Chain A
Amino acid sequence: MKQRLLPLYVISIYAFLHLPLLILCAFSFNSSRFTIWEGFSLVWYKAMWNDGALAEATWNSLLIAAVSTVLATVVGTLGAYGLWKKNSKFLSGSMYLSLVTPEIITGIALLATFQWAFRFFHLQLGMHTVILAHVTFSIAYVLLVVMARLRTADPALEEAALDLGATEWQAFRLVTLPMLKPGIAAAALLAFTVSFDDYVITSLVAGVDSETLPMMLYAMARRGANPVVSAISTVIFVGLGILIVASERLQKT
Chain B
Amino acid sequence: MGDLHLEAIYKEFPSHRVVDGITLTIPQGCFYSLLGPSGCGKTTTLRMIAGFDEPDRGVIKLGDRTLNGLRPYERPVTTVFQSYALFPHLTAAENIAFGLKRKGDPDTARKVKEALDLVQLSAKADRLPAKMSGGERQRTALARALVLQPEVLLLDEPLSALDPKLRKQMRLELKELQARVGITFLFITHDQEEALSLSDQIAVMNKGRLEQIGTPQEIYLTPATRFVAGFLGAVNWVGAIGVRPELTRISREAPGNGARVVEATVSSAMFLGDCFQVETKTPAGDSIVAQIAHGLGEFQRGERVHVWWHPHDEMAIPQ
> Is the C-beta of A163 less than 8 angstroms from some C-beta in chain B?
yes
B81 touches A166 (CB 8 A): no
Given the contacts A165-B102, A165-B103, A160 and B79 also touching, CB distance less than 8 Å: yes
A164 touches B102 (CB 8 A): yes
Our pick among B51, B82, B88, B102 for the contact of A179 (Cβ within 8 Å) is: B88
A159 touches B72 (CB 8 A): yes
User: Looking at chain A's contact residues, is the secondary structure mostly helix, strand, loop, or mixed?
Assistant: helix
A166 touches B83 (CB 8 A): no
Q: Which residues of B contact A19 (CB under 8 A)?
A: none
B73 touches A167 (CB 8 A): yes
Within 8 A of A (CB), among B50-104: 50-52, 71-73, 77-79, 81-83, 85-89, 98-99, 102-103
> Is the C-beta of A157 less than 8 angstroms from some C-beta in chain B?
yes
> Is the C-beta of A178 less than 8 angstroms from some C-beta in chain B?
yes
- Smallest Cβ-Cβ distance to A159: which chain B residue: B52
**Separation in Å of the B290 CB from the closest CB of chain A?**
45
A164 touches B88 (CB 8 A): no
Within 8 A of B (CB), among A158-198: 159-167, 170, 174-175, 178-179, 181
B85 touches A165 (CB 8 A): no
> Is the C-beta of B244 less than 8 angstroms from some C-beta in chain A?
no
B89 touches A178 (CB 8 A): yes
Q: Which residues of B contact A51 (CB under 8 A)?
A: none
- Smallest Cβ-Cβ distance to B50: which chain A residue: A163
Q: How far is the CA of A174 from the CA of B94 in the complex (A)?
A: 12
> Is the C-beta of B148 less than 8 angstroms from some C-beta in chain A?
yes
A160 touches B85 (CB 8 A): yes
> Is the C-beta of B144 less than 8 angstroms from some C-beta in chain A?
yes
Given the contacts A165-B99, A175-B87, A178-B89, A159 and B73 also touching, CB distance less than 8 Å: no
Our pick among B51, B82, B144 for the contact of A164 (Cβ within 8 Å) is: B144
Interface residues of B (CB under 8 A from A): 50-52, 71-73, 77-79, 81-83, 85-89, 98-99, 102-103, 144-145, 148
Across the A-B interface, the 8 shortest Cβ-Cβ residue pairs: A164-B99, A165-B102, A160-B85, A156-B85, A162-B72, A165-B73, A178-B89, A156-B81
Task: Provide 5 A-B residue pairs closer than 8 Å at the C-beta atoms, listed in order of the A residue.
Answer: A159-B50, A159-B79, A162-B71, A163-B79, A181-B89
